[in-house]
Structure 1
Amino acid sequence: MNRQIFALQRALLGGPSAAPGCRLENQVPQKQKRFQEDDGMPIHLKGGVGDTLLYRATMGLTVLGSGYVVYELVKWACPKKA
């Protein structure tokens, strides 16, 4: 009974043997080669345009957030005179 249930699950959910003609190529060696080469570029930017956009957005939000914190601290340190 259990074998039948497992066979049904394998047939419904698929798995490595579900589509033998649809094998994916292992891309890890190519990615390792690209990320390990010494071209002077930081590792967090070697992923392409997406990494660059994410890095710049993060840096922009960090600068804006830091500026806002400094503004609020100055505002609290120098209260308005009544």
Structure 2
Amino acid sequence: MYHQLSKVTGRVVAATHLQSPLFPVAPIALQRVEPPTIQYNTAQLSTVTEASSSGSGPRNLIPGTNTPYPPLSDAFRKRQQLFQREDDVPVHLKGGPLDSLLYRLTLGLCIVGLAGIFHTVYGHAFPKKQD
């Protein structure tokens, strides 16, 4: 016998309209599926190049699309050369005086934060005596 909640009284009553049990459900065998084969770099999967409209040689396409990468501006290329130059200057300082200022500001804020942490730990370790 199966039971259900009555919508009128909210109590468990015998169910008359349920024909079959809900559980256990007979298991259904899964169909066997072959795993996909791994495709290594072939001519179909290699990077596709296409001649650019400016005639500067082949250009790579954005992966997964047929759209070529947009052309880079001259200002971007100059900035890229500046950052790639071997001149023993750390990369975070190659941008000029603004980068130096931001580096020093970040370093100062880190020191202030560490001082605050030590002050908090010291305050919790040695609380002030209450008279």
Q: TM-score range by the shorter chain?
A: 0.5 to 0.7
Q: TM-score, normalised by structure 1?
A: 0.65
Q: Flag the structure with more relative contact order, 1 or 2, with Cα contacts below 8 A and sequence separation at least 6.
A: 1
Q: Which residue of 1 aligns with 2:122?
A: 74
State the AA in 2 paired with 1:70: F
Please identify runs of 4+ aligned residues in structure 1 that moved more than 2 A: none
The structure that has the greater radius of gyration is 2
Deviations 1:2-33 (A, max 9, x none): xxxxxxxxxxxxxxxxxxxxxxx621221111
Looking at secondary structure, tell me which structure has more strand per residue.
2
Unpaired segments of 5 or more residues in structure 2?
1-72
Looking at secondary structure, tell me which structure has more helix per residue.
1
Is 1:45 aligned to 2:93, yes or no? yes
Is 1:57 aligned to 2:105, yes or no? yes
Q: TM-score, normalised by structure 2?
A: 0.42
Aligned length: 58
Q: How large is the Cα RMSD of the aligned pairs?
A: 1.2
